[in-house]
Amino acid sequence: MFRKAQQIALMGELERLRTQVATLEAEIARGVRIDGVTGLLSERAFRGRLSEEIVRARRYQRRLSLAVVAIDDFASIETLHGFKASDTLLAAIGMRLSQLTRAHDLIGRTGSAEFSILLPETDAADAKDGLGRLLVEIEAVGEGTVSGVTASMGVAGFERELSAEGMIAKARTACEHAQRSGGGQAALATDVIEIADNSMPALPPDAIPALAVALAERDRYTGEHSRAVIDMSAGVARYLGLRASEIERIKSAALVHDIGKVAIPDEILRKPGPLTDEEWVLMREHPVIGERILSVLPGMSGVARIVRHEHERWDGKGYPDGLAGEEIPLGSRVIFAADTYHAMTSDRPYRAARSHAEAIQELTRCAGSQFDPAVTAALIGYMYGRRQAGAVAA
């Protein structure tokens, strides 16, 4: 009887150990298959699925595209905010990518600051167009002390001779090109090869100041206004805790945020009184024109996007695209608030300047409708600091 009881106990212990081993094996398999930070496919699992899809595309002559998305300047984020905050940010971005891609697309974390998206039945050009909005959405992601993050993207299409490694290499090369060109933009692998073959020259370092000078020659107020908006935008960006690279991008956009006005007729640009409805229709084209001017310059697509959207309102009633809330690039929100403050406190032919106190009151009133509340608070804090230092009149 005692011996039988021992056998039963031993059998129970063996079953418990078998269950424990099976659980450990499942956890190990999951750890190999799933990234522990983001919950997405791990690099190894993603490469395996990519290889399977390539075989299928080759066999059935199907379209297939791969996008590599890399967080710009991620090393600085880790240095400034620490590994825990960086991991939280990566998890939030991974979740956002999952929400914004199609159900049959595959997403994996394939590097320390890199995600890959596999798009079956999609060619590269369509993939780039369809995923372009992801870069704006990533910029809107903020976790804890980290905000204003930008990302770049490279897209490669399937070619019969490509392996999984070759396809990833092409997409990564395009992504790296997008980052070298200023970041915050997408590039097609085929375009990058063409650019390399044509030895496209880099943007001269004085190109942006030259554009600003051209604008100042056209309209003296606009030139002086831009210089003031640069200082305020940079101050607000620092107040928000943005990284140095993002502050520089915002400063560049602030310098040329009105560059599209070079295409506005003189009788509208220099009109001493209020504009008519028809004249406003033309004036509201200047952000789009500014984007067109800047987007043809190497490395300026991130700045161009900020310029295009610097008249969008927090409530979605702005122009040219009616973006709302965090859909609007952070740099655009910063410049819009700084631009409005300086415009209100400047003399114009058709009205006198408002006081600092009146301008602050108006900004506060419109926070949450016209302006981003967080940006408004940062601008008010920055201006209060300048006033305490004696740089701003009451």
Number of domains in the chain: 2
Could you read off the pLDDT of 269-287 as tens digits, one per residue?
Answer: 778 778 888 889 999 999 9
Report the percent of the chain where pLDDT is more than 70: 79
Q: What does the alpha-carbon distance between residue 66 and residue 158 come to, in Å, rounded to a whole number?
A: 8
Residues 85 and 189 in one domain: yes
My answer on whether 211 and 351 are in the same domain is: yes
Q: What is the CATH number of the domain that holds 349?
A: 1.10.3210.10
Task: Identify the pLDDT of residue 10.
Answer: 64
pLDDT of residue 29: 45
How confident is the prediction for the chain on average, in pLDDT? Answer: 83
- Report the alpha-carbon distance of residue 328 to residue 136 in Å, rounded: 8
Q: Give the pLDDT confidence of 163-221 residue by residue, as tens digits.
A: 888 899 999 999 988 888 778 888 999 887 554 444 444 444 556 666 666 666 555 55
Of 179, 198, 217, which residue is a domain's last?
198
**Domain limits for position 101:** 43-198
pLDDT of residue 27: 46
User: What is the rounded average pLDDT of the residues 92-113?
Assistant: 93
pLDDT band at 14; cut points 50, 70, 90: low
Is 293 in the same domain as 337? yes
For position 199, what pLDDT does the model report? 44
Domain boundary among 167, 198, 229: 198
Domain end, chosen from 138, 168, 198, is at 198
pLDDT in tens, 49-69: 999 999 999 998 899 999 999
**68 and 191 belong to one structural domain:** yes
Q: Is the pLDDT of residue 382 over 50?
A: yes
Please determine, for residue 16, whether its predicted confidence score (pLDDT) is greater than 80. no
pLDDT of residue 222: 57
Domain harbouring 170, CATH code: 3.30.70.270
Residue 35 lies in a domain: no
pLDDT of residue 24: 46
pLDDT of residue 200: 45
Residues 151 and 228 in one domain: no
Query: pTM for this one?
Result: 0.63
Is it the case that residue 83 has pLDDT exceeding 90?
no
Q: Are 139 and 215 in the same domain?
A: no
Report residue 277: phi and psi, to 5°.
-60, -40
